[in-house]
């Protein structure tokens, strides 16, 4: 069976089932503005964009690259270079928090919900992964699964249907978890405190030192350590 590459497809002829879809996707992807002017990085981004839409079952960059020419000759490593640039998560989260401020007047309380969560993992050498009870198992046969532990803070808006917009995501890996960065090893309540302090700092930097910060959490925060948290407003 002959293989038709998406870069060689012309006007739909009715013979191939996916030709009309590719024909309309090509100009959309080609005309999308990118932060690059060199032809090779631009072509790489276009290949990944088409692969994301045409191969939804592929989950990783390597799997997406397998759908592109010149595989199976080789998988070019240039796909990974576009994801190795410097990324500052605290700055990105602060920017996300600033986007919520226009929707929360300064005389209202800035309400956030705090809770811990676990992200299931399947790899054996993922940093911070530890064995935790698997909630997907039956109650009478509860097993274990590897997962990473995080603390999430979300902004609660004034809508009648109270939406929770995530504004902070902090790793709280277990002290017994292998391969983890020492700075990421802390208890869940310590993650709560660090997240609240950071949100308070963001509000102060935005000129809202006097705005009240209202924190909502579950019973895990009912500890002596959390009760001694001293922050203004």
My answer on whether 76 and 93 are in the same domain is no
Sequence-ordered list of residues with C-beta below 8 angstroms from that of 223, at least 6 positions apart, any chain: 189
Domain co-membership, 72 together with 93: no
**Domain of 103, in residue numbers:** 89-227
- Tell me, yes or no, whether 2 lies in a domain: no
Q: What is the pLDDT of residues 13-33, one digit of tens each?
A: 556 555 566 667 777 777 777
Q: Is the pTM of this model over 0.85?
A: no
- Point out the domain boundary residue: 81, 111, 134: 81
Q: Which residue, of 81, 104, 136, is where some domain finishes?
A: 81
On whether both 136 and 207 belong to a single domain, the answer is yes
**Percentage of the chain exceeding pLDDT 70:** 76
Residue 232 in any domain: the answer is no
34 neighbors 44 (Cβ within 8 angstroms): no
- In this structure, the answer to whether residues 153 and 45 fall within a common structural domain is no
What is the average pLDDT across 26-51? 73
Domain boundary among 81, 108, 129: 81
Structure tokens at 132: 């935790």
pLDDT digits over 48-106, tens only? 777 777 777 777 777 777 777 665 555 556 666 666 666 677 888 888 899 899 989 99
pLDDT at residue 3 in the model: 42
Number of domain units in the chain: 2
Q: How far apart are CA 80 and CA 4, in angstroms?
A: 25
- Whether residues 25 and 137 fall in one domain: no
């Amino acid at each position: 069976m002959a293989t038709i590459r998406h870069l060689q497809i012309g006007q739909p002829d009715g013979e191939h089932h996916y030709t009309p879809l590719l024909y309309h996707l090509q100009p959309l992807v080609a005309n999308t503005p990118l932060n690059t002017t060199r032809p090779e990085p631009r072509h790489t981004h276009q290949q990944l964009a088409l692969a994301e839409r045409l191969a939804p079952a592929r989950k990783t960059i390597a799997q997406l690259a397998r759908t592109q020419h010149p595989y199976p000759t080789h998988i070019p490593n240039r796909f990974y270079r576009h994801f190795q640039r410097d990324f500052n998560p605290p700055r990105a989260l602060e920017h996300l928090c600033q986007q919520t401020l226009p929707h929360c007047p300064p005389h209202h309380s800035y309400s956030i919900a705090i809770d811990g969560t676990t992200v299931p993992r399947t790899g054996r050498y993922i940093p911070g992964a530890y064995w935790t009870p698997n909630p997907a198992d039956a109650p009478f046969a509860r097993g274990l699964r590897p997962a990473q532990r995080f603390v999430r803070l979300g902004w609660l808006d004034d809508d009648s249907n109270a939406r929770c917009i995530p504004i902070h995501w902090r790793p709280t890996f277990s002290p017994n978890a292998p391969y983890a960065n020492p700075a990421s090893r802390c208890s869940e309540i310590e993650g709560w405190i660090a997240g609240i302090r950071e949100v308070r700092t963001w509000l102060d930097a935005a000129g809202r030192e006097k705005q009240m910060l209202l924190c909502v959490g579950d019973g895990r925060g009912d500890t002596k350590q959390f009760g001694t948290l001293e922050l203004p407003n």
